[in-house]
């Protein structure tokens, strides 16, 4: 059992440089070429739903959520998710996912979408997207997953995924 006890906090601007460094380390320069990045570059992430893990005051993990319209679903896209290599396999990545998904659904998001490895995300409530959801670039459809607010969300996930202006909480 590890005695490392991370503290989980909402992301704030003082974390930005550390998050950039963690993502660069985790994904390398190719991260900017990914289809999910094409969505993220359309507008800002929702900092209220982004979280960091800190150990001894240092950011060692990060997850970001970006508001998206996925077909007819007003949801969020999760990513990047990254944990520093020396802190892997301690449950930190999964805890970051749990916290951010719960915060999003609580805030009125209809579903959290991501492109990722099904074996990692399935135990966290993610299911394959059944409808045809088009990204602004090529994606492996078997890796497009959703943690839906309810089962009926699947029917409305057909179409494009694009950044959307903040609104769910304002509308609610």
Ligand X SMILES: CC(C)(COP(=O)(O)OP(=O)(O)OC[C@H]1O[C@@H](n2cnc3c(N)ncnc32)[C@H](O)[C@@H]1OP(=O)(O)O)[C@@H](O)C(=O)NCCC(=O)NCCS
Which residues here bind ligand X, judged by CB under 6 A? 26-27, 81-83, 88-94, 116-117, 119-120
For ligand X, the closer CB: 36 or 153: 36
Smallest distance, ligand X to C-beta of residue 45, A: 15
For ligand X, the closer CB: 124 or 168: 124
For ligand X, the closer CB: 21 or 26: 26
Q: Which residues have CB under 8 Å from 98's CB, separation 6+? A: 124
Q: Which residue's Cβ has the minimum distance to ligand X? A: 93
For ligand X, the closer CB: 50 or 83: 83
- Closest by CA position to 50, among listed 4, 84, 82, 12: 12
How many alpha carbons fall within 13 Å on the CB side of residue 30?
2
How far apart (Å, rounded) are the C-alpha atoms in residues 82 and 63?
7
Smallest distance, ligand X to C-beta of residue 28, A: 10
Smallest distance, ligand X to C-beta of residue 103, A: 17
According to DSSP, residue 157 is labeled -
Q: CB count, 10 Å around CB of 62?
A: 26
């Amino acid at each position: 059992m590890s005695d490392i006890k991370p503290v989980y906090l909402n992301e704030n601007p003082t974390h930005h440089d550390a998050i950039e460094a963690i993502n660069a380390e985790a994904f390398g320069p190719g991260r900017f070429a990914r289809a999910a990045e094409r969505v993220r570059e359309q507008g800002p992430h929702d900092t209220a739903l982004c979280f960091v893990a800190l150990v001894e005051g240092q950011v060692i993990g990060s997850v970001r959520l970006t508001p998206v319209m996925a077909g007819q679903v007003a949801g969020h896209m999760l990513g990047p998710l990254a944990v520093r290599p020396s802190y892997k396999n301690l449950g930190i990545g999964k805890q970051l996912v749990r916290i951010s998904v719960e915060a999003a659904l609580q805030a009125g998001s209809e579903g959290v979408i991501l492109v990722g490895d099904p074996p990692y995300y399935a135990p966290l409530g993610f299911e394959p997207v059944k409808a045809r959801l088009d990204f602004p670039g090529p994606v492996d459809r078997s890796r497009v997953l959703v943690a839906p607010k309810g089962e009926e969300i699947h029917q409305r996930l057909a179409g494009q995924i694009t950044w959307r202006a903040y609104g769910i909480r304002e509308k609610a």
